Structure 1
Amino acid sequence: MSVRHSMQVGVNRALRPTGFQLIRGYTTDPAISPFLPARSTIRQAGKAGKTVGDFLDSYSAEPGATAGTVDAMLEIGHLTPDTVDRVCEIGPGSGRYTTQILSALQPSYYEVYETAKDWIRYLQDTLPTLTFQPADGHTLASTPSASVDLVHTHKLLGYIPFVTALGYLDEIARVVRRGGTAAFDLITDDCLDDSTTKVWLTEPHRMTIYSVAPRAWLTDFLAQRNLELVGSRFVPLSGGRTELLVFRRT
């Protein structure tokens, strides 16, 4: 039995009371990719006469979704330039959330973990003040414990295997300081209302790119790591919605 399979068995055993289980999701549809390539995305945004961020909002959510998500995170977390000086972001991609956070909070230090080399090059050109940490796709190994005021990630955890997402959440709890904020969005069971499930059932082959998390179990998992849920907000996603969850480290 492989290590990955052993982990999946273990997590499924823990999730059994919730009625959820982990399965490997995949898609053979060439039109769908969880992580969009930089060059073609930038080119399509230019043809549409939009910024990359606005183009991605229209492509994967709805106009203004990025700004709305950041505004909600700032409001729920009571985040201001006076309370946030050091930021860590996982999977910034095009930097559409990064740009909004830099503008709103003006932190002195902003580190990112990104695995896509094409988007790293783009970010280095457009946001040269960022600190790029070595990214292994699983951990925040280069970030000291209890060292950041805000750690956040968007439109990432709902696409990756749930075990990998749990690893990131464990790391998020490790790196945020006491009194600091952790924020992320994912597809919880609360996101799956009847209208959403009807959409999913019309195109099941497309929806295998998404991973669903049991909300109550997840908040308990994080509570055991001293992260207290302070608020949430549903945010748009192609084919449905995700839930933005904001936690405070106690």
Structure 2
Amino acid sequence: MSVQHAVQVAVNRALRPTGFQVVRGHSTDPAISPFLPARRTIKQAAKAGKSVGDFLDSYSAEPGATAATVDALLEIGHLTPDTVDRVCEIGPGSGRYTARVQAAVQPSWYEVYETASDWIRYLRGELPTLTFRPTDGHTLAPTPSASVDLVHTHKLLGYIPFVTALGYVDEMARVVRPGGVVAFDLITDDCLDDSTTKVWLTEPHRMSIYSVAPRAWLTDFLAQRNLELEGSRFVPLSGGRTELLVYRRR
């Protein structure tokens, strides 16, 4: 850790109770720090002879998981070019979900919130039509309320503290228009079957990176924000699975 970064972390730790933080291009809050560095991931993908998306599928889930997730999102949400014009995505990272959603619904506006500067540079080269929103790592403040047809995130909420994930979910409910779709995957209590918990208990230090959300409570929380559950699908994850939840704004 550089001296500058150490100072930023210390200052943000002191400022956290006030609701403010110092940022430089992306958030330095350790609660939402980047998961996989871009340069190393891209290099490993090239060495394996795979696209970055296919490499990440093999690394964190199983081959084809990204395509299957996007297909499920489109099917459950009834998302087509006729129903989606404006999209917001949180934490696109490598853009493996972004590219597939863009190709499927062909929106005129696709904005993203990404905290990792190295992945931002990569995305600017790979997907130049994206609009990058300034991010604090906790909110979607630059996006107006009821302004997007689809707001989604993948392989993010299950890795960050539950209160941070809940804040994002609350913001997703705010920015989606009536009739629009909110979609995200996380580790719900329904994901924790006996075989999964056995794996977790054999590797508690590795599995401590995950956080678990109460599914029924979360659905009630979103119902209070006029979001109704349309459907769900389990998604493979290293050491278990997440659940893709798709809601529609009434």
Query: Which TM-score bucket, shorter chain as reference?
Result: 0.7 to 0.9
**Separation in 2, partners of 1:158, 1:43:** 26
Q: Is the 8 A contact 1:34 1:209 kept in 2?
A: no
**Separation in 2, partners of 1:135, 1:196:** 34
One-letter identity of the residue aligned with 2:127: L
Give the aligned partner of residue 157 of structure 2.
Answer: 157
**Separation in 1, partners of 2:134, 2:221:** 27
Runs (4+) off by over 6 Å: 2-5
**What is the SS of the residue equivalent to 1:181?**
strand
One-letter identity of the residue aligned with 1:104: A
> Structure 2: which 5+ runs fail to align?
1-13, 18-30
Give the aligned partner of residue 71 of structure 2.
Answer: 71
Instruction: Give CA deviations for 1:191-222 in whole Å, capped at 9, x if unaligned.
Output: 00000000001100000000000000000001
**Separation in 1, partners of 2:58, 2:170:** 32
**What is the SS of the residue equivalent to 1:229?**
strand
One-letter identity of the residue aligned with 1:219: T
One-letter identity of the residue aligned with 1:168: Y
Q: Is the 8 A contact 1:181 1:249 kept in 2?
A: yes
Instruction: Give CA deviations for 1:10-55 in whole Å, capped at 9, x if unaligned.
Output: xxxxxxxxxxxxxxxx9xxxxxx97100000000000000000000
Does 2:145 match 1:134? no
Equivalent residues in 2 for 1:103-118 (5 A)? 103-118=103-118
TM-score normalised per structure 1: 0.87
Give the aligned partner of residue 224 of structure 1.
Answer: 224
Give the aligned partner of residue 36 of structure 1.
Answer: 36
**Separation in 2, partners of 1:216, 1:4:** 30
CA distance change for structure 1 residues 93 and 128 in 2, over 3 Å: closer, same or farther? Answer: same
Cα distance, 1:83 vs structure 2: 0.1
**Separation in 1, partners of 2:98, 2:117:** 17
One-letter identity of the residue aligned with 1:229: L
CA distance change for structure 1 residues 188 and 4 in 2, over 3 Å: closer, same or farther? Answer: farther
TM-score normalised per structure 2: 0.87
Cα distance, 1:4 vs structure 2: 7.1
Q: Is the 8 A contact 1:66 1:96 kept in 2?
A: yes
Which has the higher relative contact order, 1 or 2, with Cα contacts under 8 A spaced 6 or more apart?
1
Identity %: 85
Cα distance, 1:120 vs structure 2: 0.2
One-letter identity of the residue aligned with 2:247: F
**Separation in 2, partners of 1:35, 1:131:** 22
One-letter identity of the residue aligned with 2:60: S
Across the aligned residues of Structure 1 and Structure 2, the Cα RMSD in angstroms comes to 1.8
**Separation in 1, partners of 2:202, 2:86:** 43
**Separation in 2, partners of 1:198, 1:3:** 39
Cα distance, 1:117 vs structure 2: 0.2
Q: Is the 8 A contact 1:34 1:159 kept in 2?
A: no
Give the aligned partner of residue 60 of structure 1.
Answer: 60
**What is the SS of the residue equivalent to 1:93?**
coil
**What is the SS of the residue equivalent to 1:170?**
helix
Give the aligned partner of residue 244 of structure 2.
Answer: 244
Cα distance, 1:235 vs structure 2: 0.4
Give the aligned partner of residue 93 of structure 1.
Answer: 93
One-letter identity of the residue aligned with 2:152: H
Cα distance, 1:224 vs structure 2: 0.5
Cα distance, 1:92 vs structure 2: 0.1
One-letter identity of the residue aligned with 1:103: A
> Structure 1: which 5+ runs fail to align?
6-25, 27-32
Instruction: Give CA deviations for 1:120-175 in whole Å, capped at 9, x if unaligned.
Output: 00000110100000010000011000000000000000000000011001100000
Cα distance, 1:107 vs structure 2: 0.5
**Separation in 1, partners of 2:206, 2:236:** 17
Equivalent residues in 2 for 1:16-31 (5 A)? none
**Separation in 1, partners of 2:226, 2:121:** 36
33-42 vs 199-208, which moves further: 33-42
